[in-house]
Amino acid sequence: MTQRARVTVNAAHDLGVLDRLWASLGYDEINWTYTPQGRRTLQTIGAFAETPYHVRPHNIFTSGTGLGLPHWGSGNVYHEDADGTPYYDFTIADLTYDAIVGAGHHPLVELGFTPLALVPDHAKTDFRYEGSPSLYSEYEAGWWSYPPKDYDRFAGLVAALVEHALERYGADEVQHWLWELWNEPDITYWRGTPEQYYDLYDVTTKAIRDVYPDAKVGGPAVTGGGDDFLRGFLQACADSDLPVDFVSFHTKGAHFTPWRTYGPIGAPAPVQQSPSTEKMLREIDTALTVVDEFPQYAGKPVIVDECDASVPAHWGIYDNANFAYRNTEYYPVFQAQLMKKILELNERHTAKVREATTWSFSMEGERYFEGTRSFVTASGIEKPLMNAYRAFAHLGDRRIDAVTTGAVDALASRTADKVAILVWRHTDDQYAAEPAAAPVDLAIEGLDPGRWTLQHFRIDRDHSNSHTVWQALGSPQDPTAEEFARITARQGLERFCDDTPIDVEQSFSLPLELPLPALSLVVLTKSR
């Protein structure tokens, strides 16, 4: 028999500001930002978000035609005329940032990668590449990752983008933007030395600040294994008194082995594997410890601007069946667990994570429930993951005490007239699902006496879950209009029961039953 769990919330015990860690997303495919589905996805999130999200696409400086492809894109800004004089084309940049800003969000501008005209000559001989009709050219395959051959021209490109952003959007908007050099320079995204990166950071931040002195600059956006690079970067910045307004690094919860399998469509995973919150938390803990070594930066906000359950984003269940969790209720519950545990990590460090970016957005041209790391699947159908972020949006600005016993966890908050509580069951094993519900006693103390309204929302197999509806319809890859309507009717955050008025003296108790995995959002609103 499943042990009875208990959650005790003290609405009068204020724990301070609840950081909106989740208010950030990113993706590789910059050119899908402004497709109809991309725009709708940004607008959907903007409509329920309680605060603007930072949005971080790759490839703003990468050369190309603007055709979006999985794990690739091009902002195509930099060009040189026949005399070698630089000029700039902001067509794609405008489409991208118009879509982000127009949906109520702010860009985190990742300044990368090397434009074709700035690829150093040695890259063209050093980089080994054999052409094939199914592969990119040498540039797409790797030339873009070499340090630019002319740092002054790269600085001019950066300055031009900042100046253009100020002219187009105004300082009232751009004051919220973040400017970050490159992505994961500790691995093959950067085929140069750490010292070359430090030098490029120097000229880049100067170029930004010369145009906009109030700009927020930072980096180095290293991987979960990039602690030595992170330490070297912070030391170089400290030695040269370079500006660092935020520190960034990444973490991933799994790299399935074998990463990709080739077999019959729908074949099971050769080895069952799952994402690990524990791995992610270890990597974040270690990186925060590095930042803490530098008192001048330990108080700066930390952004884990790729904070993901597994890599890569564009592979799915047909590559490896372990990616199935991205379609299911497991993923939103995983995200709730991760955000709560990052908040707990913050309590142990001077450096604090302020944003934990899900590298999830929207994939064009995929099959229904392909299993990519995305908020939506084909035809813009929202996956259960979206509902985690809808639930987060209900949380108030102040965190309050929540003590748990048994196999549940919780995160509680309040505003002047609302108490919102997330309660969930999670384990780092997507195959450990238990349809039998576990009993949970939720007790809320320290409430103001009077009339309150109780709302209860649920994410599980049977609620807030377009995927299970689609499965019940036979997993159609060309849904009829009626089937599509039935799927989308169930894609949002669903009430578990009708809203209920209750009279409270000082406390309130609510029995819950949570299958594994599942998340309940309980909201109490004070009547006026």
pLDDT confidence of residue 233? 98
| DSSP track, 62-127 | --S-S--BTTB-----EEE-TTS-EEE--HHHHHHHHHHHHTT-EEEEEE----GGG--TTHHHHS
What's the confidence (pLDDT) of residue 442? Answer: 98
Half-sphere exposure of 22 (CA within 13 A, CB side): 24
Q: At what angle do helices 91-102 and 151-169 cross, to 10 degrees?
A: 50
Q: Quick one: which H or E segment has residue 519?
A: strand 518-526
Between CA 285 and CA 298 the distance in angstroms is: 13
For residue 37, give both structure tokens: 């589905």
User: Domain 19-394 adopts which CATH fold?
Assistant: TIM Barrel (3.20.20)
CB neighbours of 268 closer than 8 A, spacing ≥ 6?
321
Q: How many whole angstroms separate alpha carbon 205 and alpha carbon 264?
A: 50
Q: Are 112 and 181 in contact (CB under 8 A)?
A: yes
- Name the phi and psi angles at 132, rounded to 5: -160, 145
- What is the pLDDT, as a whole number, of residue 2? 65
Strand 301-308 to 500-504 pairing? unpaired
3-state SS, residue 176? coil
What is the structure's pLDDT at 268?
A: 92
Could you read off the pLDDT of 31-51 as tens digits, one per residue? 999 999 999 999 999 999 999
Q: State residue 236 phi and psi, 5-degree precision.
A: -65, -40
Q: Where are the alpha helices (DSSP H) in 308-383?
A: 330-346
End-to-end Cα distance, the chain: 43
- C-beta separation of 206 from 243 below 8 A: no
Distance from C-alpha of 310 to C-alpha of 295, rounded to nearest angstrom:
32
**Residues with catalytic roles:** 184
Determine contact, residues 421/411, Cβ cutoff 8 Å.
yes
Q: What is the pLDDT of residues 173-190, one digit of tens each?
A: 999 999 999 999 999 999
CB 123 within 8 A of CB 110: no
Best CA proximity match to 487, nearest among 501, 502, 476, 498: 476
What are residue 418's DSSP bridge partners?
A: 525
User: Could you tell me the residue ranges of all domains in the chain?
Assistant: 19-394, 398-526
Taking Cα atoms as reference points, which of 35, 179, 47, 208 lies closest to residue 106?
179
CATH code of the domain made up of 398-526: 2.60.40.1500
pLDDT at 1: 52
Return per-residue pLDDT of the chain as tens, 528 residues.
Answer: 568 999 999 999 999 999 999 999 999 999 999 999 999 999 999 999 999 999 999 999 999 999 999 999 999 999 999 999 999 999 999 999 999 999 999 999 999 999 999 999 999 999 988 888 877 899 999 999 999 999 999 999 999 999 999 999 999 999 999 999 999 999 999 999 999 999 999 999 999 999 999 999 999 999 999 999 999 999 999 999 999 999 999 999 999 998 888 889 989 998 999 999 999 999 999 999 999 999 999 999 999 999 999 999 999 999 999 999 999 999 999 999 999 999 999 999 999 999 999 999 999 999 999 999 999 999 999 999 999 999 999 999 999 999 999 999 999 999 999 999 999 999 999 999 887 899 999 999 999 999 999 999 999 999 999 999 999 999 999 999 999 999 999 999 999 999 999 999 989 999 999 999 999 999 999 997
